[in-house]
């Protein structure tokens, strides 16, 4: 792509960033749709200076990842309702010198479910983990009228805190927090989501045994590298429907594109998935 005086610049801030797949997603779209823009990674140790720099050189917007999704909020002029409920921002649009914050993680997760014709309404959902990812997706699951969302986290107080925050905004939602993993009965759920880091290493055990899982249980693991983490390996052995985290990564990026450019690139999800799988395999 030829960079000139009209090129629009976007990027990702966080630390570290060496394994990010975001540039591949966004630059593919820019090239295919002839958008004069470029997306790069900016490993950031000083958040204040990075934001100041993006504003001063006229960036169109940027994504935010660990460890700045919460820390970015004081620098923004406005954040949307969902990002406010979640308490974290991963996408920023710069318009007329103002910074507008959004969270596309939860929306991306929801869009990925829709891509498989899966509906959330009236479903019972179990989420393993109570960190930032669990926070983002649970807000959107609640918005879509899930019947029940239950949590398990190795740090019980963390899960309780998330459950209380969710209940504050969604009064009719049924919520339970498990202190003992052994008391979880998967027969009570239609969707299981792993939002923990268990499965990132090949030697990791499954974060939850699926021995008594019902045959119609959908198993979604937010981990995308490896593409088949331990939970999904067990789920596939039991012939359960599985989804890995690449789909959420893709759809949250497509949602960010919609915020920045007002364009809907959702039809590119399948092509992008194949590209990213190939990239991960080539990377070893």
Q: What is the largest CA-CA distance in the chain?
A: 61
Contact assessment for residue 224 and residue 279, using Cβ atoms and an 8 Å cutoff: no
Handedness of CA 192, 199, 158, 15 (dihedral sign): negative
Q: Count of CB atoms within 10 A of residue 58's CB?
A: 10
Neighbouring residues of 277: CB distance < 8 A, sequence distance ≥ 6? 227, 246
Q: Give the strand pairing for 191-194 and 37-43.
A: unpaired
| CA distances from residue 95 to 28, 76, 273 in whole angstroms, order as listed | 24, 12, 31
Cα separation, 246 vs 269, whole angstroms: 10
What is the DSSP code string of 86-117?
HT---EEEEETTEEEEE-HHHHHHHHHHHHTT
Radius of gyration of the chain (CA): 19
Q: Which residues are catalytic?
A: 69
Determine which helix (DSSP H) or strand (DSSP E) holds 226, and give its type and residue range: none
Q: In DSSP terms, which residues pair with 243 in a beta bridge?
A: 220
Contact assessment for residue 103 and residue 252, using Cβ atoms and an 8 Å cutoff: no
* 3-state SS, residue 9: strand
Q: Give the strand pairing for 78-79 and 98-102.
A: parallel
Cα separation, 90 vs 99, whole angstroms: 12
């Amino acid at each position: 792509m030829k960079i000139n005086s009209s090129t629009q610049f976007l990027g990702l801030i966080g630390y570290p960033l060496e394994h990010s797949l975001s540039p591949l997603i966004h630059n593919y779209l820019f090239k295919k749709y002839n958008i004069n823009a470029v997306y790069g990674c900016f490993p950031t140790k000083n958040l204040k200076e990075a934001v100041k720099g993006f504003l001063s050189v006229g960036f169109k917007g940027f994504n935010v990842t660990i460890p700045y999704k919460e820390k970015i909020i004081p620098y923004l002029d406005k954040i949307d309702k969902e990002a406010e409920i979640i308490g974290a921002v991963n996408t920023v649009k710069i318009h007329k010198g103002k910074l507008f914050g959004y969270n596309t993680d939860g929306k991306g997760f929801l869009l990925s479910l829709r891509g498989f014709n899966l509906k959330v309404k009236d479903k019972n959902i179990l989420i393993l983990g109570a960190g930032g990812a669990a926070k983002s997706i649970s807000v959107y699951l609640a918005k879509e009228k899930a019947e029940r969302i239950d949590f398990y986290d190795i740090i019980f107080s963390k899960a309780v805190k998330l459950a209380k925050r969710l209940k504050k905004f969604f009064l009719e939602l049924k919520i339970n927090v498990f202190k003992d993993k052994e008391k979880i009965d998967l027969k009570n759920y239609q969707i299981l989501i792993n939002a923990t880091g268990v499965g990132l290493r090949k030697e990791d055990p499954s974060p939850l045994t699926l021995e008594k899982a019902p045959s119609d249980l959908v198993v979604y693991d937010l981990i995308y590298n490896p593409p088949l983490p331990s939970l999904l390996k067990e789920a596939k052995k039991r012939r359960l429907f599985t989804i890995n985290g690449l789909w959420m990564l893709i759809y949250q990026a497509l949602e960010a594109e919609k915020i920045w450019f007002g364009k809907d690139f959702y039809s590119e999800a399948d092509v992008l998935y194949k590209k990213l799988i190939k990239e991960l395999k080539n990377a070893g």
